[in-house]
A and B are shown apart, each in its own frame.
Chain A
Amino acid sequence: MKTPTLEERAADLEELSNGIVAPGKWATVTFVVPDKLEKIREQINDFFELVNLALEIVNLTLEFAKAFLTAYLNPLDLIIQAILDEIRALAEDIQQLGIYITHDLALFNDWPPLDLEGGFSAYERRMVGRLTDRGDPTRPNVSSRFSVFSLFLYLSVDPTDVYRLYELVMTLVGLFTGGKTKPLRFNLPVPVIRDVFYGNDAISIFNPRTIKDALTDFDGLPPNRFKVAWQVNPGANYPFNPVSKAAPDGFIVTVSTRPEGLGAYFSRAKNNAPAQDGKKGKAQPREYGKIMDTARGHVVLHGGTALMKFPANDLGFNQAIEAGHWKDGAAAIYGQFDPASPEVIPFEMLAKSGASQELGEAFDGKGSDYYIQRAFRVSATGTAFEWASGTFTFALGGDDLPQKISVAKLADGSMEVTPQGRASTYYVRVAAVPKDADPKLDLLDAANNRWLLGQPWVVPAQRIGGFSEAHPITITGDNSRAFLQLLKTSIKLLLLTRADLPHIDTAEGSVIEHAKMHRTVVQGFVLKECGLESSRPLLERMFPDGYRAWVEKTDPTSQVFMRELEEIASLWANRMFDAIGSNPELESMVYEATPALRETKLWEVVKPLDQGGNIQSVSLGDLIPALPNLGENLLTSSGRGIQSMASIAYTTVEGGLSHTLTLQDYLEGEPVPGFIGLARNPWSIGLAEDVVQQLRWRSDVWTGRKPHFGEQTSKERGDPFGPSGPVTRTETKAETDKLIAGMVPGMQHLFKHFIREDGTLLVPQEEATAIEILTGSGETYGSADRSPVFWSVTSGMSDFGDVVLVDGHDWIAPRAMIYYARTLLAEYEGGVLMREASFVLTMASAAVSRPKGDGEWIAIRAFDAFPELEYFFDALADWLEAVANAIKSVVDALVGYIEFVQAQIVRLQQLLRMINAFIQSFLNLRVQIPRLSALGLLSSGTDGVVADLMNAEEKPYDSQLAFGAGVALVIPFAPTFLVDLFMLLFPGDPDKTRVVGVPATISREDAPAGDEAPSDEPDVL
């Protein structure tokens, strides 16, 4: 007979199962097999699992017998044949029975399964409906002339036990259909993880913070406590109650070092190829494939050993490998994250030897015992449930998390796992589990799959709801915070230094040399690179609308810029940190390589500001935005100004700044005295536009362009200063007025002090030198004047002496400076700050700067991706050797014969192992039946069944709020074994009439007062 293909068999099964076990319909195995099924009746057995198993035995043993009986006829084989005949007879006997079965499994499809509400009366109504629906062609329609045995089984539960009800119906249906009913995926709600919070100790975890906050509000230790928060869909009928009456009993929380699940795969030996004369050795081909569950889904593990029962000694990967080859006849189950990758994860190596196989508990500190994955059980009532937000939470410690591993293939072919400590990122998932359900994937139960060549390797589906999407937990190391700070500092340096500007060498024409010699200024170009140019792509990502527009706009005060600088740097530092994850090794390396970024003092960097010029000609109030009135007082009134100035101003920047204050801390927002600041550009210090323009005359105040920016004075450009250069005296008032009117405001202010009573001007000789200096250079322009600057106002020595006489009072000469940040930062200590910042940005920005689709690393080692290839080469070598050595001698014939017998022995051993496995399966075939209500009827035809069902006494009583479901069978001509099976449900004293009428309820709600059914004791399991 032609062996059907898998596809044909699946199609036939589907066709047949639709007729047998369609939920809510009557499933039938008739006495007369329909024509369309006749052709496949002997190929498929979709009725009893036992029948199926028996026929597997038949098929396999027939194959065995064919091999043996033809070669070695002997009495033993004849006896074996007789036994096979008996097994086959039993199988055919069962197959030819007629049975009708219906059940409520389809009603579990929705969550909560409200269609099951209504208790027994609803169940009875459903069953009567199915028995009497004459429009249903699948209905048992047995004439009243025939006796019919029918069996009704019913169970009700309170709403919290719905899953157990589902389990029972599945069990009962499986008992009568041989497990061929395609299980419905029980729709437990799928949790949605809302967030993961971080803390450092058991207390702080209850005052949760995000990872950003945990690192920002640093209190000495990296976060080591994690709280996962999730929600479940309460269902359409319970929109306002997240813990609905049918809520899951608990949850499984899994954590993994990998974002993807661990796929389960198998490898099993196929039958030996027929021995060929002259060949030495045997090549045993193998099958590989995915492990499927009974819902026909690929089994993917998330929780490691605690979520599986695994026969390591029988199906472990390493035990199946010897000397680089699969052992003869060996089968193995193992994990792979990517089937195209050579990396095999032996399931037996997901935990240390001796580690508990049970689900973990919060803060048990046993994470180091487990590799890659771990799972925890969380009771829905035990976990912290926050009513206000409808959120479940579960906290666990860093010591609870499994270790990451490296996997290597050893010379003997086995896999070696080496723990690598804590991962930098973990991935947490949550799934709902029903009450008392064992959520472990049972890989023991289906060990017989090793013999089912050509068939999928199918295991029972896990009793667990769907997993949430993975949510990352960022693990921070000791240097994580420092790394984050360094990242922020480096980003700020990038923003302060105009790394966007191209070098003049990239321009064209003779302008290059002119610019380099400062004979001309080419706007938007620099004469020297700052060292952060490699981070321009990051600038482009940070400012889609252009960094230049951002840096050139005007702020009212320096504080606006400082706030924006912090916000942008924090945002991108966190974004980059998230992208690369916490990597303790990287963080440590960056930390060690950046001492200047961490330790450089602010005063050392801004020390050039002490070279600033006297600014008495400029309104001091304009240069000290924080003290707007003081400057005015200084220049216009007496007494108070001196005292005030003395109290706030410092002689030098070096003297005014704390010598312990680092540049990094300053950029982080550490306050400094108000005499110094950092602005987006000179127009953003807080000065009036005309004052800024006035300062263009003061190359000693507004400076710091060289050597980075191009710079040129108006004189260098050939522009005259005034009508005839510096003027120190006038002869008439009109001349004075004309001169003053032609001056910029600051200069006007200065010269007004020298106007005499008659309106003429006379600059005292002692001031003349200063005036010449002031006016001698003319206006100054740079190639990127709208760039960030440091500014300062001190009261130190001026070019005019320590004391200035104004209105008869002695004044300390104020000194100011506006200095480009790029020059200060890039020129400090030969550019060390830039080098270190560039290093940090290069290391951290790779992940966010990497263009999409630039390729990935592919790790391939020879032969690893094709485990069979090596085997094939060996077999090929054997064959070639055999051919070369083929000789027609008696010895060769004998050797060939011996090998043939050896092959038969191996085959026989395989058969024996297989039979032993089936024996164990039969011996272990036990069905756990809970307390449930049952009714067996002997009726006349289908109509009699309906009447007897309605008239049956002692009907179960339960609440209308209970959930109830069950199974019904209608069996014409009840066979002995089914009646015997029914009797097994009722062991006990045959002399005592059984008390009936007590509802089989696992834990029922209280019956209404005065309406409680008689019962000896609550039926609570």
Chain B
Amino acid sequence: MSEKLTPEEIMAKLKAVGLDPSKWAECEPGEIHPPFAQKQAELLTQMRDLLEEGLEEKRRKLATLQETLTRVKHGGGM
């Protein structure tokens, strides 16, 4: 389960950026890049790198198979 914050922890976080939870405040305009999206991107990047390794392995396997095929066609053994 996701980490939950206690009320005290929330208060501490808000005050850390100068916010008073009982008052309306004006937020800064700008872009928000949700941190969990970053996390997902990192995980997918790891997966992609691994798959690329796997792809390379398949290509090597393919080269081996084609070489074997050539040998068989020319009278060689498997």
**A interface residues, Cβ below 8 angstroms from B:** 50, 53-54, 57, 61, 68, 74, 76-77, 79-80, 83-84, 86-87, 90, 93-94, 96-97, 147, 149, 152, 154, 175, 890-891, 894-895, 897-898, 901-902, 904-905, 908-909, 911-912, 915-916, 918-919, 922-923, 925-938, 948, 951-956, 973-977, 979-981, 983-1000, 1019, 1021
Contact = CB atoms under 8 A, between A and B. Distances in A.
Contacts of B46: 83
Interface in B34-52: 34-41, 43-48, 50-52
17 contacts: A94-B36, A97-B2, A890-B72, A904-B58, A916-B48, A922-B44, A925-B33, A931-B27, A931-B28, A933-B25, A938-B21, A979-B5, A980-B13, A981-B34, A990-B17, A990-B18, A1021-B29
A890 B75 CA distance: 12
Given A93-B2, A988-B17, A952 B24 contact: yes
A996 B61 CA distance: 65
Given A925-B33, A933-B26, A985-B32, A905 B18 contact: no
Nearest to A149: B10
Contact of B44 (A898, A915, A938, A991): A915
B2 A977 contact: yes
Contacts of A975: 2-5
Nearest to B77: A890
Nearest to B71: A894
A612 B32 CA distance: 98
B36 to A, nearest CB: 6
B27 A986 contact: yes
A919 B24 contact: no
Closest CB pairs A-B (n = 7): A922-B41, A985-B27, A996-B25, A925-B37, A93-B2, A976-B3, A931-B29
A908 B54 contact: yes
Given A979-B13, A996-B20, A901 B62 contact: yes
Nearest to A890: B72
Contacts of B55: 905, 908-909, 912
Given A989-B18, A990-B18, A996-B24, A912 B52 contact: yes
A973 B10 CA distance: 10
Given A927-B32, A934-B26, 13 more contacts: A57-B40, A890-B78, A891-B69, A898-B65, A905-B58, A919-B41, A930-B29, A931-B29, A932-B26, A938-B7, A952-B24, A987-B17, A987-B30
Contact of B30 (A925, A929, A948, A973): A929
A93 B40 CA distance: 13
Given A891-B73, A895-B69, A935-B23, A77 B54 contact: yes
A934 B69 contact: no
A977 B35 contact: yes
A998 B31 CA distance: 21
A952 B27 contact: no
Contact of A80 (B14, B51, B73): B51
Contact of A87 (B20, B22, B43, B48): B43
A993 B58 contact: no
Contact of B24 (A90, A955, A976): A955
A50 B46 CA distance: 18
Contacts of A981: 32, 34-35
B25 A954 contact: yes
Interface residues of B, dominant DSSP: helix
B51 A90 contact: no
Contacts of A901: 58, 61-62, 65
A934 B28 CA distance: 10
A923 B1 CA distance: 24
A147 to B, nearest CB: 5
Contact of A979 (B10, B28, B47): B10
Given A50-B40, A68-B54, A80-B50, A976 B5 contact: yes
A932 B27 contact: yes
Nearest to B66: A898
Nearest to A955: B24
A28 B36 CA distance: 21
A929 B29 contact: yes
Contacts of A76: 50, 53-54, 57
A937 B32 CA distance: 21
A954 B23 contact: yes
Given A50-B36, A901-B65, A922-B44, A929 B50 contact: no
A897 B65 CA distance: 8
B50 A79 contact: yes
Contacts of B61: 901
A90 B41 CA distance: 13
B32 A974 contact: no
Contact of B23 (A87, A996, A1019): A996
Contact of A918 (B1, B2, B44): B44
A935 B25 contact: yes
Given A974-B10, A980-B35, A993-B20, A898 B62 contact: yes
A1015 B25 CA distance: 13
B48 A93 contact: no
A938 B3 contact: no
Contacts of A84: 47
Contacts of A86: 43
Contacts of A94: 2, 36
A898 B69 contact: yes
Given A93-B1, A975-B5, A976-B2, A991 B32 contact: no
A96 B25 contact: no
B44 to A, nearest CB: 5
Contacts of B14: 936, 983
A890 B71 CA distance: 12
A154 B24 CA distance: 10
B45 A986 contact: no
B51 A988 contact: no
Contact of A915 (B25, B33, B48, B68): B48
Contacts of B34: 50, 175, 925, 927, 977, 981, 984
Contacts of B43: 83, 86-87
B22 A952 contact: yes
A56 to B, nearest CB: 11
Nearest to A926: B31
A919 B6 CA distance: 33
B31 A919 contact: no
A966 to B, nearest CB: 11
Contacts of B3: 975-976
A983 B53 contact: no
Given A929-B31, A976-B2, A956 B62 contact: no
B22 A96 contact: no
B58 A908 contact: yes
B38 A974 contact: no
Nearest to A991: B18
A149 to B, nearest CB: 6
Nearest to A999: B26
A973 B51 CA distance: 38
Contact of A985 (B28, B45, B47): B28
Contacts of B6: 147
A842 B20 CA distance: 84
Contacts of A931: 26-29
Contacts of A80: 47, 50-51
A921 B20 CA distance: 34
